[in-house]
Amino acid sequence: MKNYQDEKQRDLLPNKSDGTNKFLTTDQGLRINDDNNSLKAGERGPSLLEDFILREKITHFDHERIPERIVHARGSGAHGFFEVTNPIPELTKAGFLQEAGLKTPVFARFSTVAGFRGSTDLARDVRGFAVKFYTQEGNYDLVGNNIPIFFIQDASKFPDLIHAVKPEPHNEIPQAASAHDTFWDFISLMPESMHMIMWAMSDRAIPRSYRMMEGFGVHTFRLINEAGESSFVKFHWKPKLGTHAVVWDEALKISGKNSDFHRQDLWEAIEAGNFPEWELGIQIIPQEDEHKYEFDLLDPTKLVPEELVPVTIIGRMVLNKNPDNFFAETEQIAFHPGHVVPGIDFTNDPLLQGRLFSYTDTQLSRLGSPNFHEIPINRSVAPVHNNQRDGHMRQEINTGRVSYHPNSLGGGCPFQAKITEGGFSSFNERVDAHKVRERSESFADHFGQAKLFFNSQTPTEKSHIVRALRFELGKVETTAIRMRMLGLLSQVDKELAEKVAIGLGATVPAVLECPINHGVSPENEMGDQEPKTVKSSVESSDSLSMIKNPTNTPTIASRKVAIICNDGVSETAVMNMKKMLLKEGAKGCIIAPHLGTVTTDTDGAIPVDFSFITTSSVLFDALYIPHGENLNVLAENDDVIEFLTDAYKHCKVIGADGEATSVLNAMPFASKISNDDAGIVLSSDPGSETFAQDFMTAMANHRIWEREENLYN
C-alpha cells in the first residue's frame, strides 16, 4: 500500500495514458462510434456544423503548434499579378475573370507540408501552392498543392494523417520525412490513400524548383454565372518552364549542400528578372454531368483525366517581386479556401468542407487575433465595412456609435448588398437527406486511379517509384506494416509490388489483408464497404507523366551551368559559353579548385564563383569543361571527378571541348558512356558557337533519362 506522501506526489504528476485496450473517446470522455466520417446531410451532402466530434478534433489539432504553421511551415513566396487571357463570363460572374487583359495583384506561397520551418526544401513531400488574389470584390484564395489529389477523403482523418507523418512523438524523429513506421502504418490501413501514394513516391514530390511544378486546386469547386447557373470546376496551374524534378540521390545531396535550394532559386530568379510564370487552366464539368464518370467529383482522392475533360487556359500568373520582409509577408500571410468572391462557390467534398472550418481557426491560433485580416499582406483592396469590433491588435479605428445590424441610428449602414450589387449568394443546391456518418459507395474505388497514374508513367518514372518505395518501406521496422503495403501495392500493379518486394527481401502476400475500411456501417471498424477497383475509362493519361509533357517551348532560361576551370583555361571558350548562356537567360558559374581567379591561356584572369569545397554538381543543371592547359590536373583531382560523376549519375548534360574529354575519361563511369548519349556533347572545335548551341539544345531537354538504363541495367 502506498503512503499518503506517495499519493500526494502522484497527484502532482501529469496523467499518462497509452490508450492500449481503451475505447476511442472525445476530450469529454464520450465514446466515439465512428472516427472516420464527418456528420453529413446524406452520404454526398454537406458537412454539418453540429458535428461536435469533428470540431473538437480539428480545433485541438489546429492549436497544437504555435507560432509556426502546423503544416506547410517551410515555405517561400512572392508578389506578382494574374492576367486574364481568355475571359469566361458565360461560366462565372467573378469580376476578375470578366475581361481580357485585366490584371489582379497576387501573392503566391509555396511550401512543404510535413517539415518544421527549419527543415530542408528537398524533402520528399507534397508541395503547397497557394495564391491570394487581391480582387476588387474581395480577396480570393486558391489554396492547393502541386499534386491534384489528396491522401484522405474526409476531413476527420486529417489530424490523423499529419500526426502519422510528423516526427514520432516519443523521440521527435525523423524530421520532414515519411520514411518511418507511423506514417506507413497509417497508410497501410487506409487504402483510400493509394492513389496519392503513387504521386508522393513519384518525382513530383522532389521538384527541381517551385518555378517548375504544377499547381492544383485539389477539390472540385463551382463556378456560377450571372444567371445563377452552376458548373463544376477543377483548377490547374501549368508552369511556363515545364514540370521538372530532381532524382532522389540528388535531393539528398542538395539537402546537405543547400537546404534553402528552392527558396534561393525562387528569390534569385526574380531578382535576375527571370520572372516565374504559370498558366491558369480550368476543367469544366456541366452540372448535369455530375454523375457521368466512374469516379465521384466530390472525392478528393480522384482527378479528372484530361482525356475526358481538357484543360482550358484562362489566364497567366507572373511573380515579379520578392517580399521586402520575409516574416511580415510570407510568414504572416493567411490563406483560407473559404475566401471566395461572387461567382466561385464550394461543393460538398467532405475534405473541403472540413477545411472551410479549419483555416480560420488555425489563423486565430497562429496569428493570435481575429484581426489577422488587418495585417498588411492580408488586407483586401476592396473596402471593408462591417460591425466586427475590437479584439487583440485591432488596427481599424471605427467611428460612430453604431456597431450592429439592423440599426436606425446609423441609417441602417453598413447595409446588405443585393446579388445584383455584388452580394455573395451561395449556390441554391437542394439538400434533403438524413444526418449520417457514412461515406458514399461512389468513394469506394481506392485502386483504379492509382493504377491509372502508374500506367501513365514512362519506364524511367516507374523505376523511380519502385526505388522510392524500397527506400521508404525499407526504413519501416515493423514487418507487418511492410507486408500490408505490399498487399496494397499488388492491387495497383503486381509487377510494381514484386519489384518493391525484392528490395525488401520479402514476398508479396497471396491474400490481401483487408485494412480498416471506412464504410456505411459504423458498428464495427471493418465496415461493410470493401475497397475496390473500378476500371477507368482512360487506361493511360500522358498528362500525368512529367517526361511525356515537356514544355511547349523548350528553354534553358534561369538554368545554371557549372563551368569547370583550372589555370590555363581557354579564355575564348569560357567567355563565348558565358555570353551565349546569358543570351538565353541562363547563367554560367566558374568552378575551380580554389577561389579568387584562374589565369587563362592569354594571361588574363577570370573570377572564380565557387571552389569545389563550397559547391556541388547537384546545385547546377549542367556541366561544361572548356579546353585549356593543365587538364591533367583536373583529371587527377578527386573533387572534380566526384563533381563529374554525380552530374553523370543524375542524367545531366555534360559538355567538353577538345582535349577536355580526357577529364571525362577519368570518371568511374567512363566505360559506360555511350555514343548515343544525347547528354554528352563533345567538340573538336574549342569555343565554337555551334558547339555552345548544341550544348544548350541538349540542356533544354532537362535530363537525359535514357542514361539510367545504361547505368543501372
Concatenated DSSP letters of 446-497: -SHHHHHHHHTS-HHHHHHHHHHHHHHHHT---HHHHHHHHHHHHHH-HHHH
CA distance 414 to 396: 15
Mean pLDDT highest for which of 143-157, 395-409, 692-706? Answer: 143-157
Residue 191 has pLDDT above 70, yes or no: yes
Q: Which residues make Cβ contacts (< 8 Å) with residue 311, sequence separation at least 6?
A: 236, 238, 281, 282, 283, 543
Specify the length of the chain in residues: 713
Instruction: State the Cα angle at 232 between 302 and 344, rounded to 5°.
Output: 120
CATH number of 40-378: 2.40.180.10
The CATH number, out of the four listed (3.55.10.10, 1.20.1370.20, 3.10.180.10, 1.10.10.60), of the domain defined by the range 451-544: 1.20.1370.20
The CATH number, out of the four listed (3.30.2010.10, 3.40.50.880, 3.40.630.40, 3.40.50.300), of the domain defined by the range 560-712: 3.40.50.880
pLDDT digits (tens, 9 = 90+) for 298-347: 999 999 999 999 999 999 999 999 999 998 899 999 999 999 999 999 99
CATH 1.20.1370.20 boundaries in the chain: 451-544
425 confidence band (pLDDT: 50, 70, 90): confident
Please tell me whether the peptide bond between 406 and the residue prior to it is cis, using omega within 30 degrees of 0: yes
If you search the block for the grid coordinates 497514374, which residue do you land on? 453
CATH 3.40.50.880 boundaries in the chain: 560-712
**Beta pairing class for 560-564 and 622-625:** parallel
Concatenated DSSP letters of 135-186: ETTEEEEEEEESSSS-S-SSGGGHHHHHHHHSPBTTTTB-TT---SHHHHHH
If you search the block for the grid coordinates 543570351, which residue do you land on? 583
Active site annotation includes 398: no
CA distance 128 to 125: 10
CB neighbourhood size of 307 (10 A): 13
CA distance 526 to 519: 8
394 confidence band (pLDDT: 50, 70, 90): confident
pLDDT for position 522: 44
CATH 2.40.180.10 boundaries in the chain: 40-378
pLDDT for position 5: 43
Residue bearing the bigger pLDDT, 551 or 368: 368
Residue 405 has pLDDT above 50, yes or no: yes
| Residue from 36, 37, 72, 576 carrying the catalytic annotation | 72
675 residue type, one letter: N
pLDDT for position 568: 94
CA distance 705 to 245: 12
Active site annotation includes 163: no
| Residue from 37, 139, 145, 378 carrying the catalytic annotation | 145
Q: Which residues make Cβ contacts (< 8 Å) with residue 207, sequence separation at least 6?
A: 127, 146, 213, 243, 244, 245, 246, 262
